[in-house]
Chains A and B, each alone.
Chain A
Amino acid sequence: MDFCKTVEIAYAALPLRPFRDWLIRAHMEQCPRCQAGLLSREEAKCLLVGPDRVGGTGALWGRIAGEAGRVAAVPERKPARGALAWRWASAASMAAVIALTGFWLLRETERPGFDARAVAPAERFQIDYVNVGGAPAQTFVYRPQGTDTVFIWASRTPEKEG
């Protein structure tokens, strides 16, 4: 009896459910006194509603019949599996495209002789300076709107008076 009490105290004190389950199982399976104190099958039947007390199945079939007919007429759609496969395929192809693009960019930028300035925007035109008669000239750069043509007008820089 004392041992049973100890087990009960330990059961209440143990924090983890697996330990509690193990303790109660091990004790109950070996303790005839505790087994005798369990609810009997007959007592349980008095508290539960058995299949013999729930009533006939006529009303139940009435509820199910209409729906069952609809179930039989319309075969179960299985969009989930197809949609899932489609989603996986799209995600995998997207990941492959991203990986290949990344790999290509990495390879291009890492290869010997790669000049980052070469991939600068192509339409950008740049001159450092123009010399006329051995001296830096006045330079005008003109690009008509909507064309790729660039005109450069360079003239001798007028000398300062005085």
Chain B
Amino acid sequence: MEEQFLFARMHDALDIPVPPGAYERLRIELAKKPVRHSRWPAFQMRFLKMGFRLAAGLAIVAIAVAAAAAVLAIHNSANNNSPAGSRMSILAYQQMIADDNANAFAAYSDPCDVGTPSGCAADATRAVPVLQKWINDLSRPDIPARFAVINAEMRQHLSQSLSAQGDIIAANKANDFPGVARAFTVALYGAEWTGTVVPGIVASKQVSATVYTHQLSIQKQGLDSCPNCTLWTAADARTCTTNGGVPCLVLFDNLASDFATFSATLVQYAAPQSLSAKDARVQSDLAAADAVLLTMRLAVAANDQVGINSGIDQLLRLKTRIDQDAGMVTG
């Protein structure tokens, strides 16, 4: 009886028709922006030896920085001897991130597509001070230990995004529209990553060992099957024009989304004290993978195939490490 009543009440309270023409508008939008690789039609291969060396060097530096940040975080987390009150509270951190995220979200309101690149520049101009403020917030010395690793990753994402906003503005000024599109691709990664991770931070709570292990296990299984990894390892993915019709940018987004979701899950379902050391290892592995992805995104935007391939190889190695370290928890 209650079931029937609920069905009726819910329909009474919520039923409204789909707005007229809504599907048609979606169809037109999809036709207008087919897939993002159409943003730069001149998607030509360039294998610059120096470019590869630079990308490889940057990747190593980024991994080292991420690893150092993670080790520090692990150390702080494991030896959290700070006197009470010296760190920001979990709640205050969550509120700060939610506010910064909402401000950044509000900065993007102009159309930004192939036809209106000036909209991208207008968005970028508004985004610069907002992202700078967010980065400043993340640079506070009193970040709660629970969020130390993700905080360091977020700072790197936002810094890359901030730099790309500057590139958008400059490219737009120079009427370099392919340049706007390339920079936009890089800037968007920051928004996509935070879009995945911020809800995890905001909803973060310490859970029992059973819940943590269960969540970790789901993510581990996802990474084990990893259809996106399989696509990348296919021979034709090593030529970035297409991979069975799927451009590298799309493949990258999917793969990056898998790793970001893993990180977001570990933050949302924070490990209990008994598993904190093992959790720190997995988080450290994920941070290293994230550093590779950040460099790889630049390679994708620059159409640097060698840089992309190098990133794939590093990611696959890190995936094995993540799998092993997560296996230490899930058994």
Do A and B originate from a single complex?
A: no
Q: What is the interface of chain A, defined by CB distance below 8 A to chain B?
A: none
Q: What is the interface of chain B, defined by CB distance below 8 A to chain A?
A: none
